[in-house]
Amino acid sequence: MSRSGFVALAGRPNVGKSTFVNAVVGEKVAIVSDRPQTTRRAIRGVHQSGESQIVLVDLPGVQRPRDALTVRMARRVQQELEGSDAALLVLNAEQGVGPGDRFIARALRAGAVPVTIAVNKVDRLPRGALMEVLEQTAALGLAGEIFPISARRGTGVGELVAHLAALMPEGPFMFEVGACTDQAQELLLAELIREAVIRRTFQEVPHAVEVMVEEIETPREGLARVRALIWVETESQKGILIGSQGRMIKAIGVAARRELERVLDCQVHLDLSVRVRRDWRADDSLLDRLGIT
């Protein structure tokens, strides 16, 4: 009998949830950076092994809602947790267990699904410090199973995945064999462009950036034309993204195009435009257009 179900990943921003999902799926389905708010939607990655299929739901990092965007992100986290078959709390070993982790643990304890804990980035700690973090984790009183892992290196990931697979209910697969995500192509490409922006900008710009792919054309075999809008909130942010004599937007385009060509498996002509929309993070109509629900 096959097993299939959803595992919701909960945790503070920047604990490595997206890196874990990509490592387990074997494909890049979630963008990765060291900035909070990198993940804004629930991203689903599919892992299949033998008769089990796990749908990992990479959730936005849990944080205090401050505007319409973060309100929607918090609501999505709650909805996905309620609809999952199991939850995985991901902690950052380098940071130890903090108030934010305890807040999330209390919320998970009140839920009805089994909870597993992954302590990520253990490769960055000496053994003594790691043992202290594991003791702090056990003191949460949340789960009987705690897995020290390094999502970046793959350490402990196989054992954790096998444990999660055993928690899945019996039933047919929810995705076709070979599927790795349920993301629309436009959204995946937009996220890869946003990743290129995040990695090349500093201070307030990453939080204020969103990307929308407006058009994908295939004028001939082996070539795709992608037209995308990059939204920012101020003229100064637009100036940073464009850069002196257009150097920054060119560098972003070169980096993003490499990722798009990998995904589309063809040559890509990428057309990027930067537009200002003040306070877009508080604009419900634009958030609807961007698919942030």
* CATH code: domain of residue 32: 3.40.50.300
Q: Show the domain range for 235.
A: 185-289
Q: pLDDT (tens digit, 9 = 90+) per residue, 4-18? A: 999 999 888 789 988
Residue 176 within any structural domain of the chain: no
The predicted-structure confidence for 88-131, as pLDDT tens digits, reads as follows 999 999 999 999 899 888 888 887 889 999 999 999 999 999 99
Sheet with 210-220, edge to edge strand ranges: 210-220, 223-232, 267-276
Contact 67, 281 (CB under 8 A): yes
- Tell whether 147 and 193 lie within a shared domain: no
Same domain? 149 vs 11: yes
The CATH number that applies at residue 201 is: 3.30.300.20
> How far apart (Å, rounded) are the C-alpha atoms in residues 196 and 192?
6
Q: Do 95 and 156 share a domain, yes or no?
A: yes
pLDDT of residue 111: 79
Same domain, 157 and 236: no
Instruction: Tell me which of 136, 167, 198 is where a domain ends.
Output: 167
What distance in Å separates the CA atoms of residue 233 and residue 222, rounded to the nearest whole number?
A: 36
pLDDT at 127: 92
Over the stretch 252-288, which tens digit does the pLDDT of each residue have? Answer: 999 999 999 999 999 999 999 999 988 777 777 777 7
How confident is the model at residue 40, as a pLDDT?
61
Structure tokens belonging to residue 288: 């609807």
Question: Which stretch of 25-34, 74-83, 227-236 has the lowest confidence by average pLDDT?
Answer: 74-83
Based on the fold, state whether residues 163 and 189 are members of the same structural domain.
no
Question: Whole-angstrom Cα distance, residue 20 to residue 90?
Answer: 9
Q: How many domains does the chain have?
A: 2
Full 3-state SS string of 228-241: EEEEECCHHHHHHH
What is the predicted pLDDT for the residue at 32? 74
pLDDT value, residue 72: 67
Hey, what long-range contacts does 37-40 have (CB within 8 A, 24 or more apart)? Answer: 37/13, 37/61, 37/63, 37/70, 37/73, 37/206, 37/207, 38/13, 38/14, 38/195, 38/198, 38/206, 40/69, 40/73, 40/210, 40/292
The reply to whether 215 and 283 lie within a common domain is: yes
What would the mean pLDDT of 215-229 be, rounded to a whole number? Answer: 96
Same domain flag for 154 and 36? yes
Residue pLDDT, tens place only, 179-206? 898 888 998 999 999 999 988 887 667 6
Cβ(272)–Cβ(230) under 8 Å?
A: yes
In a domain, 172, yes or no: no
pLDDT value at residue 19: 92
User: Are the C-beta atoms of residues 76 and 59 closer than 8 Å to each other?
Assistant: yes
- The tens digit of pLDDT for each residue in 136-174 reads 999 998 877 999 999 999 999 999 999 999 999 999 998
> How high is the pLDDT of residue 41?
63
Same domain, 92 and 199: no
**Spatial contact of 86 and 113, defined as CB atoms under 8 Å apart:** yes
Enter the tokens of residue 153: 């290196």
162 and 198 fall within a common domain:
no
Q: Is residue 173 part of a domain?
A: no
Q: Are residues 116 and 58 in the same domain?
A: yes
Phi, psi angle pair for 91, to nearest 5°: -115, 155
> What is the rounded CA–CA span in Å between residue 238 and residue 21?
32
Would residue 100 count as lying in a domain? yes
Residues in a beta bridge with 90: 118
Q: How far is CA 109 from CA 9, 86, 105, 140, in A?
A: 14, 12, 6, 10
Phi-psi region of 37 (alpha: psi -120 to 50; beta: other; left: phi over 0): left
177 belongs to a structural domain = no
Give the chain's length.
Answer: 293
Please write the tens of the pLDDT for every residue from 48-73: 998 999 999 887 665 566 667 666 66
Regarding whether 222 and 280 lie in a shared domain, the answer is: yes
**Do 10 and 107 belong to one domain?**
yes
